[in-house]
Structure 1
Amino acid sequence: MLQDNGGRMRQVNIVDETGWSKSKVSMLLSDMEDDGLISKLRMGRENIVSLSGQEPEATRSALDDE
């Protein structure tokens, strides 16, 4: 789903598209983040979920490119 959406999605859109509960999506995404598959960025009251390597530029460390 993330690949089909340019590598990034709002977590609420994942909930809407899967029909799963917010807690189930949150738990699965946390497991995926622990495994290094995705990253979550908190923006205000929502999370932006990105595939690893697809994070918004402003969130990457300058050391990531070395």
Structure 2
Amino acid sequence: MLTFERIGWQPEDYDRWSTHLMESQRAFVTPTRHRGQVCARFAIVNPLTSKDDLGLLIDSMR
């Protein structure tokens, strides 16, 4: 599992981003909390997921 935060994002931003990824069928990424801070959580279950795939998801946070 991998967690990370986008500086300046509020919980609503993570919710919007997560919903967009799910509705576009790109990924299932859920917001979570780590040490009280909202962040994104990737739980990678597909062994074919590549670093490039993860990079695309991270880039979609821009």
TM-score over 0.5 (shorter chain): no
Higher-Rg structure is 1
TM-score for the superposition, normalised by structure 1: 0.38
Could you say which structure has the higher helix fraction?
Answer: 1
